[in-house]
Amino acid sequence: MSTPAENEASIKQESGPSGTVQDKPKKIVVRTGDGEVFELKEEVAMEMETIKTFFMEDNISYETVMPLTNVDSWELVKVIEYCSKYVELKNKENFHKELKAFQDEFVKSMSPKTLLSLSNVANYLEIKYFLDFICQAIADHIKSKDVEYVRELFGVENDFTEEEYEMAKTEAPWAHENLDKDLY
């Protein structure tokens, strides 16, 4: 993300000889829960329904800094990375192929917990295609894992009794076979 200093420089450059600011690409400013300020390109910010509604509904000026208290800066970095790429690829011919390649790389760089956090953020910011992608990535990750792994990952408590759990296992032993062995 550009610093305020760099941004000012780019604004001066883009205003042109007449000094008007009509050609400047519009920016939207947000502040994350951990106090960081981000400038987003308008076209990227508008991919997020929550931000779109905030500004569009009551015609709020782009000078307002929108608070995103439920989003941490590292999460926003990732969201911007994905949405920017999506916007860039959207109208291209090889959209699906190139997006898939980008998605594979994107997932590789993240731990399962990170994916879960991002699904929360995607849901809060209301970015449907990003949420679909993250949910699919989480599903792909857990599909061959055992029950203990999934409990740890999602932080859910085992509220079955020993008996209940064993009974469920014996009813469908085939579903508990041939799983990934790694934990965490």
Partner 1 sequence: MWDDCYEGKSLLSPASTSKLGLSISDVITDWLKSLPEELIPDILIRLPIKSLIRFTSVCKPWMSTIKDPTFVRNFSDQNATHLILLHVVQSEGYFNPEGTIQIIGFQEDSYSLLHDDTAVSEYCKVEFPIALNEELINPCFRVVGTCNGLVLLADDLGDYGYTFVLWNPSIRKYVTLPKPSVWFSTHGRYDASLGLGYDAISNDYKVVRLTTLFDQSDDCLTKAQVYSLGEGSWKMLLPVPVPQCFVSDSLVHVFVNGSLHWMAIQWTEIYMNYFILTFDVAGESFGERLLPKSFKLDEPLDLRLSVSGDRKSIALFVRCKRDSFLDVWVMKEYSEEKSWTKVVVLGPQGPERSLPMAFCFKRSGEVILELSHELVSLDVVSKGFKRLGISGGHICYVDSFEESLVLLDRDDAASY
Regarding 62 and contact with partner 1 (CB under 8 A), the answer is no
Distance in Å, CB of 178 to partner 1, minimum: 9
Which of the ranges 4-12, 35-43, 52-60, 160-168 carries the binding residues for partner 1, by CB under 8 A?
A: 160-168
Q: Which residue has the tokens 């990227």?
A: 44
Q: Helix (H, G, I), strand (E, B), or coil: what is residue 65?
A: strand
Strand partners, 37: 31
What is the phi/psi pair of residue 30, to 5°? -130, 160
Site string for partner 1, 107-146 (x = CB under 8 A): --xxx-xx-xx-xx--x-------x---xx-xxx-xxx-x
Pair 180, 144: CB distance under 8 Å: yes
CA distance 95 to 54: 29
- What residues make contact with partner 1 under the rule CB under 8 A? 70, 74, 109-111, 113-114, 116-117, 119-120, 123, 131, 135-136, 138-140, 142-144, 146-147, 150-152, 154-160, 165, 168-169, 171-172, 174-176, 184
